[in-house]
Amino acid sequence: MVRYALAAEDKEARRDAILAAARTLFLRDPEKLPSAAAIATEAGLAKGTVYLYFATKEEIFMDLLHVERVALMSRIREAFAPDSRSVDEKVATFLSAYVAHVTAQPDILKLESLGYSVLERNIEQERLRAYKQELGTALVDAGTVVEAALGLAEGEGARVLVHNYALTQGLWQALDIPPDCLEMMGDAAVAFTSLDFASELKVSLDRYWRGLRSQG
């Protein structure tokens, strides 16, 4: 039993090392996914070892993205949990923490932009189904807590969180313009470079959530 436990711990440690190495490499160059060989080298493992844990390199990054998505749902449940705070206080605290959290992880924003077009197209369907089901459950659970806090109808909480996600990702992609494209735009580029993602995200989400509260 002890030997089995140690083997399981070793397996989990290697898996974590692969994920950490992949994220480190992606942070260095977020314009492309690193190869499985590069990830293995960074993790101090043989290339073949990577494929014992993940079928493709895209699955590695899908796993990173999935863990972050589910963890975010947990943070949302905590932010809107029943307590003595007013609705306005809960929303203000959530938005401040959310914007800080999102802007501190540009690699996750980049992975989100690759989710449907790259990552999901290169992992096994059973694995993708498991990701979707777990995320869907987490979204509904978090949405239920938001509904209770804001006095929304059943099902509206998840809808609000999807809107929150769309505003975040859409704004980031609109402002994440490659340097060579900005150069081609000339003076017109100022329309984008004058906007700070964190500041604009806070303004956009504050307006959206304020609108929700005014409807309640």
pLDDT at 4: 47
CATH code, 43: 1.10.10
Q: What is the dihedral of CA 169, 196, 203, 152, to 10 degrees?
A: 20
Does residue 93 share a domain with residue 9? no
pLDDT at 112: 94
Does residue 84 share a domain with residue 162? yes
10-residue mean pLDDT series, the chain (216 residues): 57 94 95 95 94 96 96 96 94 96 94 92 96 97 97 95 96 81 71 82 95 74
pLDDT at 5: 43
**What length is written for the chain?**
216
Does residue 35 share a domain with residue 3? yes
Helical residues (DSSP H) of 104-188, grouped into ranges: 106-114, 125-150, 156-175, 179-185
pLDDT at 35: 96
Query: Look-up: residue for tokens 């006095």?
Result: 151
pLDDT at 190: 67
Q: Helix, strand, coil % (nearest 5) of the chain?
A: 85, 0, 15
Does residue 190 share a domain with residue 85? yes
SS3 151: coil
pLDDT at 183: 72
Does residue 61 share a domain with residue 134? yes
Residues 65 and 112: beta-carbon distance below 8 Å: yes
Does residue 141 share a domain with residue 66? yes
155 sits in the region (left: phi over 0; alpha: psi -120 to 50; else beta) called left
pLDDT at 2: 43
Does residue 82 share a domain with residue 188? yes
**Structure-token pair, residue 63:** 């796993």
Rg (CA), the chain: 20
Does residue 143 share a domain with residue 41? no
Does residue 180 share a domain with residue 114? yes
